[in-house]
Amino acid sequence: MSPKLLTIPAAICLVALSAAAAGAQNPQQDPAERARNIARQLEQNARTLTLYDRQGKVISTIAEKHIFNQPTLSPDAARIALIKPDLEKETVDLWVYDIKTGTGVQITSNKPRENVQAPAWSPDGKYVAYVALRGSRYTIFRKPSDGSGAEETLYAHQGGPIVLTDWSLDGRYLSFYESDLAGSRLYLLPAEGDRTPIEAAKSEKEMLAARLSPDSRLLAYRSNETGRAEIWVRSVPAPGSQAKVDTWQLSTEGGYGMVWWKRDGQELFFFGPDRVVMSVQVKSGPGTFEFSKPRPMFKAPDSIPAQSNPGAFGSVSRDGERIVFSVPPLPPLRQLTVFDRQGKEVGRIGAPGLYVQPTVSPDGTKVAVMRADPQTGANDIWAFDIATGTGTPVTATPDGENAPVWFDNDRVAYVSMRANFASIYRKQWTGQGPEEQLFRYTSGAGMALTDFSPDKRFAMVDGGGIVLAIPLTGTDPLKREAVDFARSEFEAGAGRFSPDGRYVAFGSNDTNRFEVYVRPFDAKTGEAAGEMKWKISNEAGVVGGIVWRSDGRELFYHVNDNAAQELRIMAVDVSTTPEFKASAPRELFRVKGPLPGNPPQWKHITPDGQRFVFAVPRPATSTK
């Protein structure tokens, strides 16, 4: 993922929201199935608009649950502007809800794939301004907050994503920022007259959720310049002034956004560690500023992502007395559960947790898994002994690790994005000893590790719709270069080596639906050997989970049965000598879905093909 996207979290969130809305409809999908999908998406993602006082007492919940995003309180705290998708129409629009009545007024009428984000209220509450992507331009509009009249274009931006953060108390300026590799810039946009943006602050560092104090002398924002997201304040010299810019770091334990000033400028608020809403008292004199230590006000619900995007889930009223959150449902805990070939549950591993992507070790005795910490949201790799259920953290970093694959019976490899580079690392499964970097990918590009060749001479990764083989030659991981194994106009991924290393099974949608294929592997080059390709699957809904049995005689994969909301576990008899042959696929069993995580990645079957490990939402169930 590119830093541009990472540094504009609100924008990416809305892009994701647009994608969700757009993705809810598939013209070729059965209407009943589509309705079920929409209902399921709402059930899993609908958030409760909840109003709190500053002690954290719930004042009220507003309207029926929906996928509310960026709730922003009006100046009188009587209404909420927010972003809401319409899954039927595949659109995302700005709405204004009345807190007392719970009724909503639609402000924008976007087309599919347009988006809108970052609402800001005029000081009198008569207008709401917002950023919308129309055509190829991020444009700031305003419209009466009762939904009447036409929207008025205030400013069409020529560059990348921008985030509108505020409308000054005197009504004269709207403020917005942009942030990219060249740094961050906050602009003031005159609400009337010549609407040429005025650069108000500039930094080479990240400067997100930037909001000016009511007297425009200070700018509060979130930055990662210490290596962790924290809340900062900097002075804003008057236009033309040569005064130096002072900065203050307000938080030291983490600050994740939702930076709001009280109307009198004597208090500011932010979303702190462990979901605590924090308050900072501000004293200002002529040229002097004092900030108190952040004090906790109350803890927001556990279901709000601990390191959520700034402003995505909540806002604070101008008088500092009301806080609104759109509260998502708690993610269900998952139990690592072992099934036999008939789909009978035969064991459970450890306690339930936020697990995805279980990966079984080559000797079948251990399972590595991605685990999200419920308090911090950090993703680490854990390893469990299947027999005893004892879990051990393999990694414990703030960076986040994913895509675990066993290198051998003692070491787990995984991917982590650090300093803008995704790399493959490996480490002892006990978590002890140093971490070893095996490969570094292109700057800013994401990848997923899927396998190692049996002789350990190659790693295999998904590199953005392509399957790459990485020769693990030499001693310098930075000099290792990936080789295309499968690269075309269609997506390919989840490459898995046959146990004899002569073939690779992978998924591709080159027939406009995903299927499992096998191609010969050239161990000299890392490329596919020749043009031979065998299609293994023959049904719609293939989602990956491609695993070879260790004797090379059977191949497994998953198929989604959307109508039944079940995952079908498929098996194919194969032989690789003297040449590749495969039987017709057969269903072994079904597991009740939907299962969270990234199914294409699962390598969750014991080497003898007798045990299947899934991270299933509690209670664990299987059918058949």
Partner 1 sequence: MIRRLALSVCLAGLLAGSAVAHHNMSALFDFSQRFTTSGTLSKVDWRNPHIYLFVDVKNDKGQVETWSFEGPSPGFFRQRDVGKENFEASMQKSVKIEASRARDGSRSGLIREVTLADGRLVSLCPQNC
Q: What is the per-residue binding string for partner 1 in 299-318, x denoting contact by CB under 8 A?
A: --------------------
Q: Which is nearer to partner 1, 55 or 158 (CB)?
A: 158
Smallest separation (angstroms) from partner 1 to the CB of 560: 9
Taking contact as CB under 8 A, which single stretch among the options 340-348, 387-395, 405-413, 484-492 is the one that binds partner 1? Answer: 484-492
Strand order of the β-sheet with 230-235 is 208-212, 218-223, 230-235, 247-249
Identity at 109, one-letter amino acid code: S
Q: Which of 94, 403, 569, 613 binds partner 1 (CB under 8 A)?
A: 403
The C-alpha atoms of residue 412 and residue 433 are separated, in whole angstroms, by 12
Distances in Å between the alpha carbon of 259 and those of 97, 187, 207, 386?
22, 17, 12, 45
By CB under 8 A, residue 261 contacts partner 1: no
Taking contact as CB under 8 A, which single stretch among the options 191-199, 334-342, 358-366, 487-495 is the one that binds partner 1? Answer: 487-495
Q: Which is nearer to partner 1, 265 or 596 (CB)?
A: 596
Smallest separation (angstroms) from partner 1 to the CB of 440: 13
Q: Which of 415, 459, 528, 616 binds partner 1 (CB under 8 A)?
A: 415
DSSP helix/strand/coil, 31: helix
Largest CA distance in the chain: 86
Q: Which of 2, 139, 247, 428 binds partner 1 (CB under 8 A)?
A: 2
Residues 125, 79 contacting (CB under 8 angstroms): yes
Q: Which is nearer to partner 1, 136 or 432 (CB)?
A: 136
Element (H, E) at 324: strand 322-327
Q: Which residue is it, tokens 């000598």?
A: 577
Number of residues engaging partner 1 in binding (CB under 8 A): 72
Considering only residues 447-466, where is the footprint of partner 1 by CB under 8 A? 448, 462-466
Residue 309, token pair as written in the block: 């995007």
By CB under 8 A, residue 552 contacts partner 1: no
Q: Which is nearer to partner 1, 16 or 396 (CB)?
A: 16
Q: Which residues pair with 369 in a beta bridge?
A: 382
Residue 320, token pair as written in the block: 């500092």
Residues 438, 477 contacting (CB under 8 angstroms): yes
Alpha helices (H) along 292-363:
none
Q: Which of 308, 337, 402, 498 binds partner 1 (CB under 8 A)?
A: 402
By CB under 8 A, residue 545 contacts partner 1: no
Closest of 535, 536, 449 to residue 496, by C-alpha: 449
Residue 334, token pair as written in the block: 């998952």
Q: Which is nearer to partner 1, 502 or 568 (CB)?
A: 568
Cis status of the peptide bond prior to 578, with omega within 30 of 0 = yes
- Which distant-in-sequence residues (6+ apart) come within 8 Å of 66 by Cβ? 42, 46, 47, 84
Q: Which of 487, 499, 501, 590 binds partner 1 (CB under 8 A)?
A: 487
Smallest separation (angstroms) from partner 1 to the CB of 493: 4
Considering only residues 171-230, where is the footprint of partner 1 by CB under 8 A? 178, 180-182
Considering only residues 19-38, where is the footprint of partner 1 by CB under 8 A? 19-20, 22-24, 26, 37
Q: Which of 144, 265, 329, 596 binds partner 1 (CB under 8 A)?
A: 596
Considering only residues 39-78, where is the footprint of partner 1 by CB under 8 A? 40-41, 44-45
Considering only residues 105-124, where is the footprint of partner 1 by CB under 8 A? 113, 115
Considering only residues 121-160, where is the footprint of partner 1 by CB under 8 A? 133, 135-138, 158-160
Parallel, antiparallel, or unpaired for β 467-471 and 458-462? antiparallel
Residue 48 CA from chain centroid, whole number:
20
